[in-house]
Amino acid sequence: MLACAGLGSCAHAPPEPDTLDESATDDAAPTAKPAPKAPSPAPAAAPVAAEPVPRPGAEATGEGAGSGSFSTAKKLLEANRFEDLLGVFEPDQAQALPPDKKKELLGIYVEAARRLREKFKDIAFSSLFCERGLLLDPRHVDLLRFQIRNYLSPEMQLVGGAEELAEQLVAVDGTEQENQLLRGKVALEQGKYDVAVEWLTRAARSGREQNSPAVQEAWKLLDEAKGHQEELKSSLSMTKELEAMMARAKAQAAKLPAGEVELPPERRSEIILYMTRWCRYCAKARDLLKSLKVEFKEKDIEDNPRAMQELVEFAREKGIELRGVPVVRIGDELVLGYNPQRIEALVRSLK
């Protein structure tokens, strides 16, 4: 800021933030020693070193980052100055607000997240406002919906985070069609087709009396999920000999005490393809993993009894019924059959 010395008032507009008046230079100072107390022209304004340039967006009120001012927050929102808006309330300040003020701040965050997503197409910045709001209210339906859509967007692709939020959303209200639709979309994106079919069926039927875009989308995605579901079932390959081997391994595993699977840290990012030589979908799974440029092991469960027993015991502890190959273990998750969406999503989560 500039000091206005020797003037009765400052009629000019304040300078833009982070800029100084270039006319305020030392060469405006007089060269001769003035007479004592004689009137002289006012010296040029000089920067006041002790007074910093104000944060953009706070000059109207004199309040800056962490000011906790609702008037500042509303003005910044109105001006679409989102970066400054994010700094008005620090997270600990927001948490300390009384309930009515938290609700007011949530409204500001929701509107900021909506504008950034829908008008300015800034998904990452919209996500920041969703995060701030969900710290105040983890069950806020609008923020959960925005964040799920943000996470599913090509810019972010955080499908695991979207699943967690979608579970929270349907826990808040599983009867609302939009919530059902989002839960189904997340499951479809993950390659969890049984879950997708369940939620998309609910979404399609809950609005079947109206021919809205949401209903049409639900039916379209439901058909897609069912198609993947059938394809996945047909991808599981099994012969009578392999079925007998697996049955023996299951009987042996059943004699062991039940316990929760706990992989050591060095194996939590391990990828194993359980396969057979003759299974064409095992070959497709192998090609997919190669295309993803990740390290993985192949274990033939017909030629390697230990691999068969390892797979059966792991599936038993996870409560998963094995019905054939391929089976891909990615960390502590098992993918049954050739499911490229699920495999890609889990591989991404390891990176």
Q: What's the length of the chain?
A: 351
Give bridge partners of residue 45 from the DSSP assignment.
none
Do the bridges between strand 271-275 and strand 297-300 make them parallel or antiparallel, or are there none, so unpaired? parallel
pLDDT score for 1:
37
Domains of the chain: 70-234 (1.25.40.10), 240-350 (3.40.30.10)
Q: Is there a contact between 112 and 77 (Cβ–Cβ < 8 Å)? A: yes
d(C-alpha 345, C-alpha 191), whole Å: 8
The full DSSP string for 80-113 is: T-HHHHHHHS-HHHHHTS-HHHHHHHHHHHHHHH
pLDDT score for 212:
85
- The answer to whether the pTM exceeds 0.85 is no
d(C-alpha 224, C-alpha 301), whole Å: 32
pLDDT score for 197:
98
pLDDT score for 79:
97
Range list of H helices, 11-140: 70-78, 82-88, 91-95, 99-114, 123-136
- Exposed/middle/buried for 171, CB within 10 Å: 0-12, 13-18, 19+? exposed
pLDDT (tens, 9 = 90+) of the chain, 351 residues, equals 334 444 344 444 444 444 334 333 344 444 444 444 444 444 444 444 443 333 333 344 434 455 679 999 999 999 999 999 999 999 999 999 999 999 999 999 999 999 999 999 999 999 999 999 999 999 999 999 999 999 999 999 899 899 999 999 999 999 999 999 999 999 999 999 999 999 999 999 986 667 788 899 999 999 999 999 999 999 999 999 999 999 999 999 888 776 655 566 666 789 999 999 999 999 999 999 999 999 999 999 999 999 999 999 999 998 999 999 999 999 999 999 999 999 998 998 887
pLDDT score for 256:
79
Q: Tell me the two tokens of residue 286.
A: 């192998």
For residue 118, give the amino acid letter: E
If you search the block for the tokens 């989002």, which residue do you land on?
Answer: 182
- Exposed/middle/buried for 83, CB within 10 Å: 0-12, 13-18, 19+? exposed
**Which distant-in-sequence residues (6+ apart) come within 8 Å of 268 by Cβ?**
331, 332
Q: Is there a contact between 270 and 331 (Cβ–Cβ < 8 Å)? A: yes
Q: Tell me the two tokens of residue 205.
A: 């039927």
